[in-house]
Amino acid sequence: MSPILGVVKDYHFQDLDKAIEPITFYMTKDLPLTYAYVKVGSTNMANSFEAVERAYRKLEPNADFLGSFLDENVDRTFRREKSMALLITSGALIAIILSCIGLFAMSILVVTQRTKEIGIRKVIGASVANITFILTKDFLILVLLAFLIASPIAWWFLKQWLENYEYRIGLSWVFFATAGVLAVAIAFLTIGTRTIKAALANPVKSLRDE
């Protein structure tokens, strides 16, 4: 029996979708040297790498030196998750930008069609806030309706995706509520820039143009 020199904490040495399994590190003179871990300073990594390579070639002059940094090896293990996160983030940003462009174009069309109505409402005493609410409420209702339809679908897909991982977070309603609030806020900011400008316009000019 070999003596136990120490115990390390559990950590992922395989893909993240697998459970943490037992692993044993041992040293014996009967097996050839396969891996050697060298702790180096972080001030000059290039010189440290070359120094390790020179020392290795003195010990094993006939073997190829295949050196690499441990953080790079760990990064390769998590590359799939990072690529997926980048893909999801990029797709979400593109979808948000396209949605904002569509909402802004629709708000311009609606404001143009209701210019006379806006002027009449201002003449009879409607406030800027009231006119802005009238012009934006239909858009916000559509955004909320889209959110209510998309939330259960997104929850189901996320649940199926997380099932592939042994260790995963729970899908709290807070995530979806936050997403809904952000969607409404982005929609309001996109539409509000045009509707507020229309509400502040001179009603006499609007009616004269009509």
Spell out the domain ranges in the chain: 79-209
Mean per-residue pLDDT of the chain: 80
List of residues 6+ apart from 132 with CB closer than 8 A: 192, 195, 196, 199
Average pLDDT, integer, range 33-58: 82
CA–CA dist 25, 32 (Å, integer): 14
Instruction: Supply the pTM of this predicted model.
Output: 0.62
pLDDT at 161: 83
